[in-house]
Structure 1
Amino acid sequence: MATRRPTADTASEAETPRPRVDNRQKQIIDIACRLFARRGYEGTSLRDISEEAQITKAALYYHFPNKEALYHRIVLDSLRALIDSVRAAVDVAPTALDKVRQFMLVTADFMDADRDSWMAGSNAFWMGSESETRAMAIALRNEYETLLRTCIDEAIKSGEFRPGNVALTGRFLLSALTQISRWHKPNGPMSTREVIEEYLDMAFHGLQAPARN
């Protein structure tokens, strides 16, 4: 039986590398993350994602059975990565004041590194339905906020912060982080970290000038 020789077309097909499954999945996640960040969960459809990725909806379903599963992956992975990064920095900070500072600066670095993940994660808290993703995201958010409150409480007990309402202080500092994405431009004159450093200086030292002698 004669051996079939590959034609130019079949040889070309054999030489063309096919996307690895994990690479394709990462591509889908990156595209979906960007769309969720800009349009929100309700404003993004699986068709939008598949068209942007230049794949069929059937191919998209191979990786993620529905939009909820895809959003679940993006939001929860992002929040877990943020918490892990912040906790690692806080654990090695030498003082309670440094722990608060590192909490804020590492979060700022996270925003600078992946603004879309931050925005997509923030949108999870405004989803109208009581979804599993929203419930799990809120649990992770509470873990994140509790970590900051613990640092603030330590700073008060160590005498580095004056006595005050720990929960309210935490909300004050967190509002600096959560609101910055509404106005800050990634390509602007200041990075998110530089803005937060300015905010921390205001928070730690106040705005009132020292009294003149």
Structure 2
Amino acid sequence: MAVTDPVPSRERVRRAALKLFATRGFHGTGIRDLAQEARLSPASLYHYMGTKEALLAELMRESLQTLLDSARATVADVTDPRERLRRLVALHVTTHATQPDETRVVDNEVRSLSPEPRAAVIRLRDTYEALWADAIDDGVRAGIFHTDEPSVSRLALLEMCNGVARWYSPRGALSLEQLSRHYARLALGALGAGDAVEAGKSP
């Protein structure tokens, strides 16, 4: 008797796409590759994904929207720029460590999209990064952060945190909470603020 796969077909397609887009890249992944990974026929695959680009755009929008919603929640009603930045760094590091495929796809594949879906993804990304920009700008205005180039500092900190997706392992020397704390201290230190504001707490 055949065994029914407990994972719905659409979810299998999603998981297959994330895995292959993250490891092979969008252009290095063919329809047959996706079908094989999802254990579907190529004809059935189109029923669950439409075009390959539409699937990529959907995955990127979902990932960014989830990150944006979490970021908004974690800094809601927090006025201190140091604490806001600390929470944003901790969230970003945790997300990249626990969802490496999703974050690699978002970080690396935006150029694979055609103009209209790319613009939608970039709007979400920019809205998320604006939370970082606001925290840094507020800290500079308050004399808490010290940088002549807030935008460059923001991009540098984001890139530092993005790298976690490439190397983090739960078997490493630091727990994820310890790693998030360390990155928060690095971020605050890079802006001349040290870790004076509860840098040891999790978001």
TM-score grouping bracket, smaller chain normalisation: 0.7 to 0.9
Q: Say which SS state the counterpart of residue 174 (structure 2) adopts.
A: coil
- For 2:68 and 2:164, locate their aligned partners in 1 and report how far apart those are by CA, in whole Å: 19
1:193-212 → structure 2 map (5 Å cutoff): 194-205=178-189
Residue 78 of structure 1: CA displacement?
0.5
1:53-72 → structure 2 map (5 Å cutoff): 53-72=38-57
Equivalent residue in structure 2 for 1:80, among 65, 73, 96 = 65
Q: Is this contact kept in 1: 2:96–2:164, CA < 8 A? A: no
1:177-196 → structure 2 map (5 Å cutoff): 177-185=161-169, 187-191=171-175, 194-196=178-180
Using CA pairs below 8 Å that are at least 6 residues apart, which structure has the higher relative contact order? 2
Question: Structure 1 65/87 Cα, relative in aligned 2: closer, same or farther at 3 Å?
Answer: same
Which residue does 2:24 correspond to in 1? 39
**Which entry has the higher C-alpha Rg, 1 or 2?**
1
Number of aligned positions between the proteins:
191
Q: Is this contact kept in 2: 1:103–1:148, CA < 8 A? A: yes
Equivalent residue in structure 1 for 2:74, among 76, 89, 95 = 89
Bigger shift: residues 50-59 or 172-181: 172-181
Residue segments in structure 2 that go unaligned for 5+ positions in a row:
191-203
Bigger shift: residues 157-166 or 73-82: 157-166
Question: Structure 1 46/131 Cα, relative in aligned 2: closer, same or farther at 3 Å?
Answer: farther
Question: Structure 1 178/205 Cα, relative in aligned 2: closer, same or farther at 3 Å?
Answer: closer
Equivalent residue in structure 1 for 2:154, among 167, 170, 180 = 170
TM-score normalized by the length of structure 1: 0.77
Q: Is this contact kept in 2: 1:125–1:137, CA < 8 A? A: yes
Residue 191 of structure 1: CA displacement?
5.0
Which residue does 1:111 correspond to in 2? 96
- For 1:58 and 1:130, locate their aligned partners in 2 and report how far apart those are by CA, in whole Å: 24
Equivalent residue in structure 2 for 1:102, among 87, 99, 113 = 87
Residue 55 of structure 1: CA displacement?
1.0
TM-score normalized by the length of structure 2: 0.81
**% of aligned pairs identical?**
28
